[in-house]
Amino acid sequence: MDQNKLAELIFPNLTGTVAELEVRFPKRNLPEGAYVTRFAPSPTGYMHIGGLYAAMISSRFASQTGGAFYLRIEDTDKKRELEGGVDEIIQSLAGYAIAFDEGPFPGGEKGYGPYKQSERKEIYQICVKELMRAGFAYPCFCTAKELEQVRKEQEEKKDDIGYYGAYASCRNLTYEQIKEKVDAGVPYVVRLKSPGKEEKHIVYTDPIRGKIEMPENRMDIVLLKSDGIPTYHFAHVVDDHFMRTNLVVRGDEWMASYPVHKQMFDLCGFEEPDFLHISPIMKMDGTAKRKLSKRKDPEAGASYYLEQGFPVESVREYLLTIANSDYEEWHMKNPDKKEEEFSLSFHKMPVSGALFDLIKLKNVSKEIIAGFSIAECERKILTWAKEYEPDLYQFADLHKEQFQETISLWKMSGKKVRKDVAKWSDLIQMFDYLYQPQEKFEQSVTYEIDEKYTKDQLREAVCAYKKNLFLDTDQWFEQMKALGEPMGYCPNMKEYKKNPEAYRGSISDLCTIVRVAVTGHKNSPDLYTIMKVLGEETVQRRLDHFLEQL
Ligand code: GLU
Q: What is the pLDDT of residue 135?
A: 97
Largest CA distance in the chain: 111
- Measuring from atom 3 of ligand 1, which residue has the nearest CA? 41
C-beta of residue 264 within 8 angstroms of C-beta of residue 233: yes
- Predicted local distance difference test score (pLDDT) of residue 261: 98
What single DSSP character describes residue 422?
S
> How many angstroms separate the alpha carbon of residue 210 from the centre of ligand 1?
22
Ligand 1 within 6 A of 48 CB?
no
Dump the DSSP string for 494-505.
HHHHH-GGGSSE
The whole-number pLDDT of residue 413 equals 67
* Cα atoms in the Cβ-side hemisphere of radius 13 Å centred on 223: 30
Which residues on neighbouring strands pair with residue 290, listed in sequence order? 283
250 Cα: distance to centroid of ligand 1 (angstroms): 6
Closest Cα partner for 26 from 197, 243, 213?
Answer: 243
Dist. CA 199 → ligand 1 center (Å): 29
Is the CB of 178 within 6 Å of ligand 1? no
What does the alpha-carbon distance between residue 533 and residue 539 come to, in Å, rounded to a whole number?
A: 10
CA of 232 to the centre of ligand 1 (A): 8
Residue nearest to ligand 1 atom 1, measured at CA = 41
Angle at 277 between CA 272 and CA 280, to 5 degrees: 160
pLDDT value for 178: 98
Q: Which of 254, 258, 264, when mutated, tests ligand 1's pocket best, judged by the most ligand atoms within 8 Å of its CB?
A: 254
pLDDT of 353 reads 81
pTM: 0.86
Q: How far apart are CA 249 and CA 271, in angstroms?
A: 17
376-387 b/e (C-beta count within 10 Å ≥ 16 → b):
ebbebbbebbee
The response to whether residue 250 sits with its C-beta less than 6 Å from ligand 1 reads yes
Distance of CA 175 to the CA centre of its chain: 51
What distance in angstroms lies between residue 75's CA and the mean position of ligand 1's atoms? Answer: 11
Backbone angles phi, psi at 157, to 5 degrees: -85, 0
Taking a C-beta distance cutoff of 8 angstroms, is the pair 224, 125 a contact?
Answer: yes
Ligand 1 contacts CB of residue 193 (under 6 A): no
Which contiguous run of DSSP H or E holds residue 124? helix 121-133
Sort 406 into a burial class: Cβ within 10 Å, 0-12 / 13-18 / 19+: buried
Q: Split the chain (550 residues) into runs of 10 and give each run's mean pLDDT.
A: 95 96 96 97 88 96 97 84 79 92 93 94 97 98 97 96 96 97 98 94 90 95 96 97 97 94 98 94 91 92 95 96 93 91 93 89 95 92 94 86 82 76 89 86 93 95 90 82 95 95 95 96 84 89 95
Q: Is 236 in the pocket of ligand 1 (CB under 6 A)?
A: yes
Query: What pLDDT does 81 receive?
Result: 66
H or E element: which one contains 291? strand 288-291
For residue 277 and ligand 1, the question of a CB distance below 6 A is answered with no
DSSP at 230:
B
Using alpha carbons, select from 349, 543, 401, 522 the residue that is nearest to residue 459: 543
Residue 202 has a pLDDT of: 95
- pLDDT of 198: 84
At residue 3, the 3 state secondary structure works out as helix
Q: Does ligand 1 lie within 6 Å of residue 392's CB atom?
A: no
Ligand 1 in reach of 191 Cβ (< 6 A): no
- Is any atom of ligand 1 closer than 6 Å to the C-beta of 77? no
Ligand 1 pocket check for 261: Cβ under 6 Å: no
Given ligand 1 and candidates 42, 48, 74, which is best to mutate, with the most ligand atoms within 8 Å of its CB?
74
pLDDT at 415: 67
